[in-house]
Amino acid sequence: DDKIIAGSAKHPIVVLDKGQHYKYGTAGFRMKADLLEGVTYRVGLLASLRSRKLNSQAIGVMITASHNPAIDNGVKIVDPQGDMLEQEWERYATQLVNAPSDAELAKVYNTLATDLRIDISAPAKVVYGRDTRPSGHTLVTALASALEATETEAADFKILTTPQLHYLVRATNSEGTPLAYGEVSEAGYYNKLSEAFVRCMKGKKIEGPLIVDCANGVGGPKLNEFLKYIPQEKLPFEVKVVNDDILRPEVLNLDSGADFVKTKQRAPPHPKPQPGVRCCSFDGDADRLIYYWIDPEVGFVMLDGDRISSLAASFIGDLVESAGLKEELRIGVVQTAYANGASTNYIRHHLKLPVICTPTGVKHLHHVAQGFDIGVYFEANGHGTVLFSPDAVTAFKKTDPQSPAQKDALDTLAALSDLINQTVGDALSDMLMVEVILAHKAWSLRDWSMTYSDLPNRLVRVEVNNKDVFRTTDAERRLSHPEGCQAEIDSEVKKFKDARSFARASGTENAMRVYAEAASRSEANELADRVAGIVS
Ligand code: 16G
Ligand code: ZN
C-alpha cells in the first residue's frame, strides 16, 4: 500500500469538476495530455492486476491518441491475445482512475484484488509502447512507476505503432508454444510481414508507385524501417513515404492522415496530389488505412474501409473455393451501421457471404468476426483486419492438393494468414494485403472502384445538451430512447428513395452523430439535416 500511495503522490490525478469523471471508453482514456499522468499511473496498477488475474500472462499498455491533435494523448490496455481489454474490466479501470485521493486509490486497488480473487504476490508482466507524441515520455514514466510499485515485470518497447504493440503482446504470450505468433521484437514483426508479403506476391508486379501518407505520425518511421526488410528486387512497386515528419509534433495529423481523408473526403493538400497515382493514408498510430486517387476526369475517388473489406472478402472467398475448402470453412463479413448500403448489398448478393452488423468500436467487430472460420471486419473509417481461426490455418497447411491451382490457392491463403495482423487493424499489414490483392487481380484502383457504386451519404455531428438520453438498439441502427424519436426518424426516411438514416451518441466526444444515405447527394444531405433537427 505504502508503495502504491507514494507512487501516486508522484503522479497525481487531476480531480475533475463536479459531475465529471474519467471514463474508459471506446479508445481507453483519451483527453488533453496534461490530464493523463495520474490516469496512466492508475492504468498501470490495473494492468498489473489483470496480468495476475490471468496467470501472469503479459498485458499490454499503449499510449497514443491516434488521429487526435498533438496536444491530446490516451492510454489503453491490451489483453493477452492482443485483443482489446475485456469489457467487464473497463469498469474496474474507471473505478481505479476516479479514486479521489492516493489513499482511496490504494483502497480501490485492494478491494478489486479481493473481489476478483487476485493473488497480488503472483508474478505479473506488462508490455508497453507509445506513439511519437512528446507527452508520451511523461506518461511512460508514470506507467513505469506503477509497475515498480506493484513489482511487475516491465518490457518497454519505446516508440511503436498501436498494432505493433498488439503484435508484441500476443508474441510474448505465445512464445515457445505451438501457436507462437512471431519473434518478440520489433524486428520480428518486420520479418514476419516481409516474409509473408514476398510469399503472397509470388513475383507478381504492380504498375506505378504507391504514395503512402503517414499523417506525420509513428507510421512514417516504421514504414521506412519495414521497407529495409524487403529485398529490393522483391519489392514489386516503388513506395513513396510522405508526411513522415515526426520531429515537429505540431504537424501530427495536420491536414493529413486517414481520418482527414475520410471525413473531409479529399486528398491531403501536401504533397500536391498527382492525378492518376495510387495513394493511401495511415492515421496517427497506423491502425487505419484509406486508399484514394485523383481521377483526371472525375476528381477525388476514395476507397474506404468498406471497400477494403469487400475486396478482401472477394479475394479470400475465391481462394477458399479454389482451395476446395468452401464446404469446410465459413467466411463472414462484419460491419457497423456506417457501412455504405451498397457495400452490404454487394457482399450479400454478389459475393453471397453473410454480413453481420455490430455497434461501433473495434472490440465489437473483432468479437463477432471470431465466430467465423474466416472473419473479415472493417469499419468504414479504415480500421479492420481479417481473422483466421486455428481450424482454417490448419486446413491451409494440411489439405493435400490435387492440382497445381489448388496448391497455389492453399499457399496463398497460408501466406495471407501470416501477412494479416490477427490482433487488431494494422495499416501497414492491411496496405500490404491490398497491394497483394490488386497484384493478383491485376487491378488498378479504378478497377477496384468499379465493383459497386457507393450510395451518396452524409455524416453530421450534432451538439446536444445531454447525449446520454439517446440510447440505441439493433446495433445502433435504431433509437430506443427518448421515446418517439425513432418514429419521427422513420417517417422522414420513408420520404426518400433508397434511404437509410440513424443517430447515435458518440463514444469519444460529447455529441450526437447522424448518418444518412439516399439515392442522390442532395437527398442524403436533406435527410441528414432533417434527422439532425429531430435529435437536436
Ligand atoms: C474509436 C474506435 C473506432 C470508432 C470510433 C467511433 C477503437 C480502437 N477505436 O476511435 O473504432 O470508429 O471510436 O467514435 O475501437 P465515435 O463513437 O465518436 O463515433
Ligand atoms: Zn488509430
Which tens digits make up the pLDDT trace of 482-527? 999 999 999 999 999 999 999 999 988 889 999 999 999 999 999 9
Instruction: Confirm or deny that 408 is annotated as ligand binding.
Output: no
Q: Is 66 a catalytic residue?
A: yes
Which residues 6+ apart lie within 8 Å of 298 measured at CB?
A: none
Kindly state whether residue 171 falls inside one of the protein's structural domains: no
Instruction: Tell me which of 271, 287, 303 is where a domain ends.
Output: 303
472 forms bridges with which residues in the sheet?
A: 479
Pocket test for ligand 1, best of 23, 26, 362 (most atoms within 8 A of CB): 26
Cβ-contact 360, 379 below 8 angstroms: yes
Instruction: Tell me which of 303, 318, 345 is where a domain ends.
Output: 303
Cβ-contact 217, 242 below 8 angstroms: no
Look up the domain containing 382 and give its range: 305-424+437-449
User: Positive or negative, the Cα torsion across 151, 152, 157, 162?
Assistant: negative
Checking DSSP bridges between strand 289-295 and strand 299-303, what pairing results, if any?
Answer: antiparallel
Cis amide prior to 482 (ω within 30 degrees): yes
Active-site residue (options: 8, 48, 66, 501):
66
294 forms bridges with which residues in the sheet?
A: 300
pLDDT at 35: 97
Kindly state whether residue 380 falls inside one of the protein's structural domains: yes
pLDDT at 375: 98
Are residues 151 and 199 located together in one domain of the fold?
Answer: no
Cβ-contact 368, 354 below 8 angstroms: no
Are residues 322 and 348 located together in one domain of the fold?
Answer: yes
Instruction: Confirm or deny that 258 is annotated as ligand binding.
Output: no
**ipTM topping 0.85:** yes
| Strand order through the sheet with 72-78 | 29-32, 72-78, 58-63, 125-130, 153-159
Cβ-contact 324, 402 below 8 angstroms: yes
Cis amide prior to 269 (ω within 30 degrees): no
Ligand 1 close to Cβ of residue 27 (< 6 A): yes
Are residues 140 and 223 located together in one domain of the fold?
Answer: no
Are residues 48 and 68 located together in one domain of the fold?
Answer: yes
* pLDDT surpasses 90 at 19: no
Kindly state whether residue 170 falls inside one of the protein's structural domains: no
Kindly state whether residue 184 falls inside one of the protein's structural domains: no
d(CA 448, CA 304): 11
Cell of 489: 426518424
Are residues 252 and 392 located together in one domain of the fold?
Answer: no
Tally the domains of the chain: 4
pLDDT at 207: 87
| Mean pLDDT value across residues 406-432 | 98
Which tens digits make up the pLDDT trace of 429-453? 999 999 999 999 999 999 999 999 9
Which residues 6+ apart lie within 8 Å of 46 measured at CB?
A: 77, 89, 92, 93, 96, 112
Pocket test for ligand 1, best of 30, 166, 360 (most atoms within 8 A of CB): 360
Cβ-contact 203, 238 below 8 angstroms: no
Are residues 396 and 445 located together in one domain of the fold?
Answer: yes
Q: Whose CA is nearest to atom 5 of ligand 1?
A: 361
CATH number at residue 499: 3.30.310.50
Cβ-contact 198, 233 below 8 angstroms: no
Q: What is the mean pLDDT of the chain?
A: 97
- Locate the ligand 1 atom nearest the alpha carbon of residue 509 and give its number: 18
Are residues 104 and 19 located together in one domain of the fold?
Answer: yes
Fill in the DSSP letter of residue 515.
E
Banded model confidence at residue 231, pLDDT cuts 50, 70, 90 = confident
pLDDT at 507: 87
pLDDT at 183: 98
pTM of the predicted structure, to 2 decimals: 0.97
pLDDT at 326: 97
Give me the helices (H) in 131-275, please: 136-149, 162-174, 186-201, 219-227, 257-264
User: Which ligand is nearest the CA of 512, by number?
Assistant: 1
Are residues 155 and 12 located together in one domain of the fold?
Answer: yes
293 forms bridges with which residues in the sheet?
A: 301
Ligand 1 close to Cβ of residue 509 (< 6 A): yes
Are residues 298 and 352 located together in one domain of the fold?
Answer: no
State how far the alpha carbon of 172 is from the alpha carbons of 40, 82, 163, 426, in Å: 22, 10, 14, 18
d(CA 283, CA 260): 8
Banded model confidence at residue 253, pLDDT cuts 50, 70, 90 = very high
d(CA 30, CA 63): 9
* pLDDT surpasses 90 at 235: no
Ligand 2 is an ion; residues with CB less than 5 A from it: 66, 283, 285, 287
Instruction: Confirm or deny that 285 is annotated as ligand binding.
Output: yes
d(CA 118, CA 103): 20
Which tens digits make up the pLDDT trace of 102-112? 999 999 999 99
Are residues 13 and 152 located together in one domain of the fold?
Answer: yes
pLDDT at 26: 86
| Mean pLDDT value across residues 242-249 | 97
What is the full DSSP assignment across 364-415? HHHHHHTTSSEEEEE-TTS-EEEEE-HHHHHHHHH---SSHHHHHHHHHHHH
CATH number at residue 48: 3.40.120.10
Kindly state whether residue 522 falls inside one of the protein's structural domains: yes
| Mean pLDDT value across residues 460-480 | 95
Are residues 310 and 362 located together in one domain of the fold?
Answer: yes
**Cα dihedral 424/427/432/437 (nearest 10):** 80
CA of 363 to the centre of ligand 1 (A): 10
CA of 120 to the centre of ligand 2 (A): 33
Are residues 513 and 390 located together in one domain of the fold?
Answer: no
Cell of 389: 481461426
Kindly state whether residue 178 falls inside one of the protein's structural domains: no
Ligand 1 close to Cβ of residue 25 (< 6 A): no
Cell of 510: 460529447
Cell of 129: 509502447
Instruction: Confirm or deny that 513 is annotated as ligand binding.
Output: yes
User: Which ligand is nearest the CA of 365, by number?
Assistant: 1
Instruction: Tell me which of 268, 287, 303 is where a domain ends.
Output: 303
What is the full DSSP assignment across 240-253? EEES---S-GGGTT
